[in-house]
Amino acid sequence: MTFSTVQFTIRSTAVVKEYEPVLLLPIGLGCVLANIPLTGMTDGNGLFGVLYKAGISTGLFPLTG
């Protein structure tokens, strides 16, 4: 099963069957965004790097409860 099939299944379950759309639609969209080739999302200055620097390293997004 390819990753495209997984994200399509997640998104279609959210839309067609209306099963947890608030949760599953962003997960499916994240699957699509994370697999766009040559975007540099995982580089130090990519989207994930910026989120880490702005949120996790400063404590804005706490990782412990």
Q: Say whether pTM exceeds 0.85.
A: no
Is residue 65 pLDDT above 70, yes or no?
Answer: no
Q: Is residue 1's pLDDT more than 80?
A: no
Q: 27 falls in which pLDDT band (50, 70, 90)?
A: confident
Residue 22 has pLDDT above 70, yes or no: yes
Contact residues for 40 (Cβ-Cβ < 8 A; gap 6+): 46
Query: Domain segments of the chain: what residues?
Result: 1-34, 38-65
Q: Under 8 Å CB-to-CB from 49, ≥6 apart: which residues?
A: 42, 43
Is the pLDDT at 34 greater than 70, yes or no? yes
